[in-house]
A and B are shown apart, each in its own frame.
Chain A
Amino acid sequence: MNHHLNDLMLQRNGPLTNLLKRTPGNFGIGQVPTDTAPTSTTSIVCGYCSTGCNLEAHLIDGQAVGLTPSVSNVVNIGMACPKGWEALTPLAASDRAAHPQLRKHRGKTAKQISWSKAAATFCERFKEIQKQHGDESVAFISTGQIPSEEMALLGSFARFGMNIQHGDGNTRQCMATSVVAYKESFGFDAPPYTYQDFEESDLIILIGSNLCIAHPVMWQRIMKNPHNPETIVIDPRNTETAAAATQHIPLQPKSDLLLFYSIAHVLIRNNWINKEFITAHTSGFDDFAVHVSTFSPDRAARDTGIAAQTIEALAEKIHRGLRVSFWWTMGVNQSYQGVRTAQAIINLALMTGNIGKPGTGANSITGQCNAMGSRLFSNTTNLIGGHQFSDPQDRSKVATALQIPTNVIPSTTSLAYHEILDQILNEKIKGLWIIATNPAHSWINQKMCRDILSRLDFLVVQDMYDNTDTAKLADLILPAAAWGEKEGTFINSERRVGLVKQVSRAPGEALSDFRIVKLLAKYWGCHELFSHWETPQDVFQSIKEATRDQPCDMTGIRDYQHLEQTGGIQWPFPDEGPPLLDRQRRLFADGMFYHDDGRARFIFDTPQPLPEPPSSKYPLLLITGRGTSAQWHTNTRTSKSPALRQLYPQNVYVEVNSSDAAKYKLQPEQQIIVESQRGKLLATVAISHNIGPGQVFIPMHYVETNRLTRAHFDPHSKQPSYKDCAVRLRYADYRDH
C-alpha cells in the first residue's frame, strides 16, 4: 500500500517509461527498442544512392521492423546516412499506391480498377496507338531505382515483346556523361576504382562533388584515410565538403574544362608527366599536348576566376602526390560540356599515371542505387550487357544468353530522353510508359516537360506512390512494390553487385515491377518469350550470361547465395578467372584498357561559353543541386519520413551572396521571386558566403526548381545541363497573384 502511494506521488517506472526500454538485439546489433527486438536479421543493399550501403534489416516473422547499418561490410563499415536509417518509413506511408487506377478524364480523380482491367487497358491502348502510328509511337522511360533483373525484363518486354523502338532511363539525368566519357576514353563504361582508394590516396581531388551531403559514407572513407591526405574541392560553391576539405577552389561555374586544360598545360610545360605510362598505354597524347599548349594559367585565370599561381600550385600538388585520385559527380556530369570535362579529368589521371594503382583513378561517383545496373541492363540505348543493337554478333550472343530468338532483337538503338520528348512534341510518339521516375518534377524546363506529357494520347505511370507529380498526369497508374518489398540485385558505384531482398509486404495489390511486367507480357501475348524467367534469379542467370567476355563479365557469380555469402562482388568476375580473394578490386592495374588496341584515348575539345550567360535582364547564374543528406532527388520517398522532414527547410529557398543581397536590397528570410525566361518561383532568401557573387543556388528537391532551368544538353551524352541558367530576383507583385 505504502509502495503504491509512493508510486502515485513519484513514479520512476511504468508504462510510459517502458515505451522507451531498450533490450539487447541478439544478432550483434546491440540494444534496440524492446518492442522491435528482432527474431532474425538479414542484410540488404540500400535503395537510395549508389554507395550501396548494406543495411541489416531487423525482422519479426520476416517483416522488417528496424534497420541498422551492417557491420563488417566492405562498403559502409557499419555506417549509414539518414536516408538509410529511415529507409523503411517511406514504405509504410499512408499514400502508397495500393491498387491500379484509371483516369478517364485528365485532371479528374483516377478510379480504382482490377489488375486484369489495368493490364488489358495497357495492352489495348498501346496496341491501338502502335497500329495507328507505328510501333515507334510508344516509348518508355525506365529508371536507376529498380533491380537489374526488373530492368532487364522491362527492357526486354518493351523492345523485344512490344516492339517499342525508343526507351531511355532517368539515368540520362545523372550518369550519361560518365558513361560516354569512359566509353570513349577507356573503351568501356568502367569506373575503375574501389572505395578503398579513398583510404589510400594522399591527394584527393573532388570535382563538382558534395560528398559530405551526397555520399556521407564515402566521406567517412576519406576520414579513415591514415595518410593524412590533402583534400581539394573544386566547386563554385562553398559546399559542406568544400568547408571540410583542406583546400577549396571556388571556380566560376562551368569553367572547369578550362581549368583542367590549364593544369594539363602546366604539367606538360614542367614535364611533370609519366611519359612511360603515356607511351605504353595511351594514344592521342601529342595532339592533346598541342591542344592544351595555349591554355596557360594566365588565360585560364580570366575565365575561371582562379589565380594563375593557384593553378600552378594545384598542378604541382598533383605532380608531387604519390597517389592522386580524382572524383567527380553531378557538377561535371550535368553540364553542356560534361563529357569533355570528365575526359579532361581522365586525361590528368592518364598523363600522370594515376590510374590502376591503389589510391588513384579518374573516378565518377554514381547517383542512383542501380544506375550502374541500368547502364548495363536497361536495354534502352545499349543492348543488355553493354552490347550494341547494331552489331549482329552482339545480337545473337545476347539472344543465346537470354534464351530468346535472335530475330526479336532490333538492330537500331533508341533515342535519348529529350529526343523522346521532342518526338512527342512532333506527334511521332503518342504513348509513354514511365517506370519509377518523376519527370514532371525532375526534368529540365519543367513547364515544357509537363506540356509535352499532356500531349500524349496515353500515359502510364508505374510507381510506389500514386500522387507523384508525374502520376497525377497519368491515364493509367500501376502500383509497384518498392525497394525492400522484392528481390534482385543492384550494382553500386565501385561495380559491386549486391543483393536486395523482400523484407516487407507491399500495400494492397501492389506488385513488384517484375510481376507487373510478367503480367503485362501475358496480356500482350508475348509471355512465352520470357516464360523461362519465373523469378528474378532466373533473369539474373540470363543477364549474367550476357556479360560473358565483356569487361563487366560477372559470370563467376554463382547465384544470389554467392552474393549473400560474400556481401557483394565487384565486376569483372569471370567464372574461369581467379578465385575471389580481394574484396577491394580496381581496374587497369595492367595498364590494359578496353579499346581494341588496349590503349586509353586522350580526348579533348574547345571549351564552349555558357549558352545562357547572365545578362542585364537576367543578371544571376542559377546553380541547382542537393540540399541535404536527408533529401533524395524529387523528395518523393524522403518526404514521407517525419524524421527526415525535420532535417531540411520545408519550403524552397534561394542562397544569395551577401554582396548581391546588398545590391538587390534583400533581407534574410525575405520572400523573393526568382525568375528565368522560362518560369518563376517564390523562395525564401538565405544570404550566405557559400555561394559566389553573381550566382544563386536552389536545391533540386523542391518541385518548383526546374521551372527555371534551361533545356540544354551535352551533345555527346545528351545529359541535361541543370546548373547554368540565367535568372533574376525581384519582389513579388501583382503579376504573381
Chain B
Amino acid sequence: MSAQQSLTAVELFGQRVAETTSALHGQYYTDLIPLDSPQDGQQYAFEVDLDKCTGCKSCVTACHSLNGLDDGEAWRKVGSLVGGTTELPVLQHVTTACHHCLEPACAAGCPVNAYEKNPETGIVVHLDDQCIGCQYCLFTCPYEVPVYNHDKGIVRKCDMCHDRLQANEAPACVQACPQHAIRIVISEEADTIANAQANQFLPTAPAPDYTLPTTHYKTTKPLPPNVLASDFYLGRPQHAHWPLVTMLILTQLSVGTFVMLNCFTGMLVLLGASANTVRNHNQLIDQMGQWPVIMTLALGMLGLLASVLHLGRPLFAFRAILGIRRSWLSREIVAFGVFAVLASADTALVILTESTADKHHLLQWAAILVGIFAIVCSIMVYVDTPRLLWSPFFTTSRFGLTAILLGLPTTLLLLSTMAALAPEISVSTIMSQYTPPICRGLIFTTLLKLLLEARIFIHLRNRTLNPLKRSAQLLTTSLFAIVILRFAVAVVGGVAMPLVLLTQNTSTAGQGFDPIFFIAITLFIWTLLLIGEFAERYLFFTSVATPRMPGT
C-alpha cells in the first residue's frame, strides 16, 4: 500500500528535458505569431483558418489548463455552422475567443473601468482586481466573451496570453491547435472598420458594426447562404438575476411612491379628484407626518441592498463612480445613491424643521428629479446592450409603468395604514377621497401595461426566427407558467380588485367597508401587483434572446 503512494518517476527515469526557459514548442508555432509589434493604426488579432478547424477543441482545453483556469472555465469556445443540402452538406466548425474589438462594449459599459485596451497591442485586458463582479459586461458583449467566476466573484476573460506573446511564445490556443488553424496577426484598424462597414465578419455571428471585432475568419470554401448556427433553434431561458429583479422593482416602487406622495396634489387633479379632496389632502399629509415617505424610502433602500447581492465583490461597489462618463450602470448606481441621500435629507429636514407638505422646497424637487433620472438610467442600462428585446420603448414602458403601477397601491396602502394607526384620521376619509382616483389609475395603468407586454406575442407570427420571435417562443413554452401567473395576478390585483373597491365606494359613499377589511383588500392588491411586477421582471431577464457566436 505504501509502495502505491510513492512517486519516483523522475528518480527512476531522470529529467529527460534539460532545464531551459525557452519554449521547445516554439519550433511548431514560430510561423503562427508575428515577428514585429503593431505600429500606429495596427493591433494584434486572432486569425482563424476555417478550412483547418475540424472541431477537435484542443484549443479550449489548452486555454483552460495552460492558463490555470477554474473548473469548466475556458476563454475559447468551439461552435459550428451547418447547412447545405443532403447531397452537399456543410459542417463548419468555428473556434472563437475574445475578438479584442476596436470599440469593446465590455469596456464601454464597465462601471469601474476594469477593462483596458492596450494602446500598443490592442489587446483588451481585464483588470481582475478592479472588477466588482457586476457582470454588466456579460450583457454588453455580443459575443459572450467575459465569463463570470462565482468563486472569485469577478469576471475573467481572454488576454491573448499577452505575456506569452511578449516572450515570443504563442498563446495557449495557438500552440495547442494540431491543425495550426489559429494564429496571431497584426491587423490594420482600417481593415477592421472597412469589414464592419461591409458587414464582413462570420456568417450568423452578431454584426461587427457594434464593437468592431478584429478576429479575421478566412476560408477558401464559400459557405452556402443557408448556413445556420448548429444551435440556431435552441431556445434557452437566460439567467433570472434575482437581485437585479428585486432592485429594479423596489427602486421603481420607491421612486414612484415618493413622487406620488410628494406631488399628490397635482396627481389628484390629474386623476380627477374633487376640489374638496385636493384641499383636504395637504392637511391630511401633514397630520400623518413623514412615516409614509420613510416607509417608501426603506423599500427603495432594500432594493439597493438587493442589488449589492448581485455584485461579486460588493465591498468595492464605491468604485462604480469611475465609469460615470461612459457607463449607464455607473450613472444608475450614482443616481440612486444621490436619490437616497436627497430624499432622506429632505425627509429629515421636514421632520426637524416641522415644515408642512405644501411648502415644497428645493431638496424635495431635487430628490424627485434625481429619482426619475435614476429610473431613466435603469432603462438605459438595458437599452445600451446588443439585446434586441430591450429596446428603448420596450424597456421604458416596463420600468416607467412599474413605477406608476406600484406607486399607486403603495401610496394607498401607506395612507390607509397610517390612517388606521393615527387616531385623529379616519380611514373612511382615505377610502372616500383616494380610492376612486387611485383605482381608476390602477385599472388604466394595468391594462395599458399588460397590453404593451402582450405585444411581444405578435412576433410569433414572424417567418424569421429573430430575437423577438425567440423571446415570444420562450414565453409560450418553457416560461409559459410564469406568463400565466404574471397576467393572472395583474388582472386580479390591477383590475378586478380595484373594480370591487370602486363599486363599493360609489354605492356606499366610502362607508361600506370595515376599515380593517379595506386595508386588507389594499394589502391584497399591493401584494398581487408586486408579485406581478416581480414576475414581469423575471420574464424580462429570462426571455431575452442573447446574441452569441454560432453554436457556442
- Residues of A bordering B, CB below 8 Å: 9-17, 19-20, 22, 24-36, 40-44, 56-57, 59, 61-63, 66-69, 71-72, 77-82, 85-86, 115, 212-213, 216-217, 219-220, 223, 238, 240-241, 243-244, 481, 485-487, 499, 501-506, 509-512, 515, 560-561, 564, 628-630, 642-647, 657-659, 667-669, 686-690, 692-693
Contact = CB atoms under 8 A, between A and B. Distances in A.
Q: Which of B24, B92, B164 has the most CB of A within 10 A?
A: B24
B362 interface: no
Contacts of B67: 20, 22, 33
Contacts of A43: 16
A269 B25 CA distance: 50
Given A30-B164, A33-B67, A42-B15, A690 B89 contact: yes
A528 B73 CA distance: 51
A16 B5 contact: no
Contacts of B89: 238, 243, 688-690
A20 B164 CA distance: 13
Interface residues of B, number: 85
Given A223-B180, A647-B78, A689-B85, A62 B65 contact: no
Contacts of A78: 24-25, 27-28, 175
B66 A501 contact: no
B72 A511 contact: no
B176 interface: yes
A77 to B, nearest CB: 7
Where chain B touches its partner, the secondary structure class is loop
A706 to B, nearest CB: 25
25 contacts: A11-B127, A12-B127, A13-B129, A16-B154, A17-B128, A22-B67, A27-B18, A31-B163, A56-B17, A68-B25, A71-B17, A82-B60, A82-B61, A85-B61, A212-B54, A213-B55, A219-B56, A238-B91, A243-B54, A243-B89, A503-B9, A642-B71, A646-B72, A647-B57, A690-B82
B420 interface: no
B15 A668 contact: no
B52 interface: yes
B464 interface: no
Contacts of B169: 30-31
A512 B74 contact: no
B164 A22 contact: yes
Nearest to B54: A212
B90 interface: yes
A689 B1 contact: no
Interface stretch (B232-240, B436-444, B537-545): B232-240
Contact of B17 (A41, A77, A686): A41
Contacts of A487: 9
Interface of B: 1, 3-5, 7-28, 51-52, 54-58, 60-62, 64-69, 71-74, 77-78, 82-86, 89-93, 113, 127-131, 152, 154, 156, 161, 163-164, 167, 169, 175-180, 230, 232-235, 319, 322
Nearest to A61: B7
B72 A642 contact: yes
Nearest to B23: A30
Given A17-B127, A30-B175, A63-B7, A219 B20 contact: no
Nearest to A688: B82
A85 B22 contact: no
Contacts of A40: 10, 15
Contact of B130 (A10, A20, A243, A499): A10
Contacts of A687: 233
A417 B56 CA distance: 32
A501 B13 contact: yes
Contacts of A644: 61
A511 B4 CA distance: 6
Given A40-B15, A643-B64, A85 B176 contact: yes
A669 B235 contact: yes
A28 B65 contact: no
Which are the 5 A-B pairs with shortest beta-carbon distances? A33-B68, A30-B23, A62-B7, A668-B233, A14-B129
Contacts of B92: 243
Contact of A643 (B71, B113, B152, B179): B71
Contacts of A630: 57, 61
Given A57-B9, A79-B28, A115-B1, 4 more contacts: A59-B9, A509-B1, A564-B13, A690-B89
B4 A19 contact: no
B60, B169, B180, B235: most-surrounded residue (chain A CB, <10 A): B60
A199 B358 CA distance: 90
Nearest to B64: A643
Nearest to B128: A16
Contact of B68 (A20, A30, A481): A20
Contacts of B3: 515
A624 B351 CA distance: 77
A219 B52 CA distance: 10
A67 B232 contact: no
A223 B52 contact: yes
B178 A217 contact: yes
Given A30-B25, A40-B10, A668-B232, A20 B86 contact: no
Contacts of A502: 7-9
A250 to B, nearest CB: 8
A41 B15 contact: yes
A647 B60 contact: yes
A646 B56 contact: no
A37 B234 CA distance: 41
Contacts of A72: 24, 27
Nearest to B8: A62
B46 to A, nearest CB: 18
Given A27-B20, A503-B7, A20 B56 contact: no
Contacts of A67: 65
A87 to B, nearest CB: 10
Nearest to A76: B178
Contacts of B177: 79
A28 B22 contact: yes
Q: Of A22, A630, A642, which is in contact with the most chain B CB atoms at under 10 Å from its CB?
A: A22
Nearest to A243: B91
Contacts of B27: 71-72, 78
A81 B58 contact: yes
A484 to B, nearest CB: 10
A30 B24 CA distance: 7
Contacts of B20: 26-28
A80 B176 contact: yes
A645 B71 CA distance: 10
B25 A71 contact: yes
B4 A244 contact: no
Nearest to B179: A223
B441 to A, nearest CB: 43
A12 B127 CA distance: 6
Nearest to B68: A33
A659 B235 CA distance: 23
A564 B15 CA distance: 10
Nearest to A645: B72
Contacts of A81: 56-58, 178
B74 A80 contact: no
Contacts of B22: 28
Contacts of B21: 24, 26
Contact of B4 (A33, A219, A512, A669): A512
Nearest to B53: A244
B163 A240 contact: no
Contacts of A63: 7
A86 B61 contact: yes
Nearest to A85: B61
B221 to A, nearest CB: 9
Contacts of B23: 25, 28-31
A504 B7 contact: yes
A643 B65 contact: yes
A34 B163 CA distance: 13
A35 B234 CA distance: 39
Contacts of A643: 60-61, 64-65, 71-74
Given A28-B22, A42-B13, A79-B176, A213 B56 contact: yes
